[in-house]
Amino acid sequence: MDWKIPKLEEFEDIIWKCTACGTCKVAYEYGPPTKFGEICPPGVEFGFEGFMSSKGKIAFARGILRGELEWDEDLLEAIYKCTVCAGCQAQCQLDHKPFIPEVIEAMRRKAVEEGVGPLPPHKNLVQSMKNYNNPYQGPRRLRTDWARPFKKAKRPIKDINKEPAPILLFVGCTGAFNAPARVIPQATASIFQKLGLDFGILGENEICCGSTAMRIGDADEFKRVAESNLQLFHRLRDERGVNTIVTSCAGCYRAIKKDYSLSSDYEDLLDGIRVVHTVQLLYELFKEGKMRFTEDLPMKVTYHDPCHTGRHLTKFIIDEDGSQLWKGAYIDTDESECLYDIPRELLQAIPGVDFVEMERIRANSFCCGGGGGVMTAFGEWASKNAAKRIEEGMATGAEHMVSTCPFCHYNLNQGSTLIGSNMKLYDLVELIDKALPPVD
């Protein structure tokens, strides 16, 4: 399978377009009233080297390409002190805007190719993927632990390896192996059962989507699992009648939808298969009147946009032929695939829910602070970032925060614990499950 995963060298022209203006240091909203706030977790924590701008990551990319910077521990740490949240990308308005997270990941890929990266904790993660097909060193048999209550309640979930079903629920490694996040696949499957959807899971045969490997720059490990998954999805279409892959994991969703599309065989292998996040599927059913909330959930909540269902899905319009501005110019963005409105609409449709927004939302959302391999390599700092987001949520007067990502679920709850907050991070599916009538 051929992959179009760009090398740092391919961004040679792009990286010189940064004018070091520093716009990417702050999230703006041009009011009135004008609002602004921090956007880059490492920029705030580590100063110049954290930010994309000025003497930050773009300067490292130039130095690496010109051969002026030697790989040493400090440089390696600096390029991995980034959650790849794309917050800087949302702020920058110059021609290299569409490629900013790619430049960061391409630096990491170069470090891995040259045998110096990733960081030691990431190497353990990659080894775990090679040994166990997941980044959590979880034996296969634990992958279905979350589904045990369903078996016990005599509502077993279909094993798609054995039985046909049009919907494949791709659980993801965090929902399967991270004990506090298991409530997410549990709530998802419970909702699907309540709605009478015909769905199945891969169970012990599910393997990692490869998102983490891609974010830390190990393209080979990413390709290994991605190719296996793409071929499996294709077989499931032909042999089990799968026409929809649904996941409650923002990372898996981004990987299958966007990273996998870098494969030359993507369209052929996924022909006839729709890839959706759970909230998209539920929103459609809600709009069709097939999902009705009956239970009251009196709670005041705010919503955290995961980077991977938000700005990572922004499409950039580039003047390819120079007909509108000049060749290669960035001219506009298309946010139609970003899941900004759907979770908010669903949340506000739940009876009793009082919804309130934080200051930094949608494309200006402040990352949970754990993505891009940060939670693995810099766990304490990841929790500290998450605590900042929790404080922002608390400032709205909300009791709890809601999101749509198992990774944000885990990290934001860690942040809340760190500062002794009572604010809990719920996944939207947890609330939806509670708001639906119980099974007979």
* Of residues 339, 364, 360, the one with CA closest to residue 428: 339
Q: Under rule CB under 6 A, how many of the chain's residues touch ligand SF4?
A: 29
Beta carbon of residue 100, minimum distance to ligand SF4 (angstroms, whole number): 6
Question: Which run of H or of E encompasses 389?
Answer: helix 379-394
If phi over 0 gives left and psi between -120 and 50 gives alpha, with beta otherwise, what is residue 228? alpha
The SS3 assignment for 376 reads helix
**Between residues 91 and 414, which has the closer beta carbon with respect to ligand SF4?**
91
Our finding on whether 13 is near ligand SF4 (CB under 6 A) is no
**Between residues 108 and 234, which has the closer beta carbon with respect to ligand SF4?**
108
**Between residues 88 and 169, which has the closer beta carbon with respect to ligand SF4?**
88
Our finding on whether 84 is near ligand SF4 (CB under 6 A) is yes
Q: Which of 86, 219, 363, 428 binds ligand SF4 (CB under 6 A)?
A: 86
- For residue 3, list its beta bridge partners: 263
Count of residues in the chain: 440
Identify whether 118 is preceded by a cis peptide bond (ω within 30 of 0). yes
CB 233 within 8 A of CB 133: no
The SS3 assignment for 440 reads coil
Our finding on whether 59 is near ligand SF4 (CB under 6 A) is no
Span of 33-41, 122-130, 210-218, 379-387 interacting with ligand SF4 by CB under 6 A: 33-41
**Between residues 203 and 369, which has the closer beta carbon with respect to ligand SF4?**
369
Query: Quick one: CA dihedral 89, 92, 95, 100, positive or negative?
Result: negative
Query: Quick one: CA dihedral 244, 285, 291, 255, positive or negative?
Result: positive
Our finding on whether 27 is near ligand SF4 (CB under 6 A) is no
CB 273 within 8 A of CB 241: no
Question: Tokens 């001219």 map to which residue?
Answer: 331
Our finding on whether 310 is near ligand SF4 (CB under 6 A) is no
**Contact map string, positions 102 to 141, toward ligand SF4, x by CB under 6 A:** --x-------------------------------------
Beta carbon of residue 212, minimum distance to ligand SF4 (angstroms, whole number): 16
Span of 80-88, 153-161, 290-298, 409-417 interacting with ligand SF4 by CB under 6 A: 80-88
**Between residues 58 and 160, which has the closer beta carbon with respect to ligand SF4?**
58
**Between residues 18 and 394, which has the closer beta carbon with respect to ligand SF4?**
18
**Between residues 54 and 161, which has the closer beta carbon with respect to ligand SF4?**
54
Query: Which two structure tokens, joined as six digits, stand for 159?
Result: 């094993």
CB 325 within 8 A of CB 267: no
Residues that bind ligand SF4 (CB under 6 A): 18-24, 39-43, 52-54, 57-58, 82-88, 91-92, 94, 101, 104
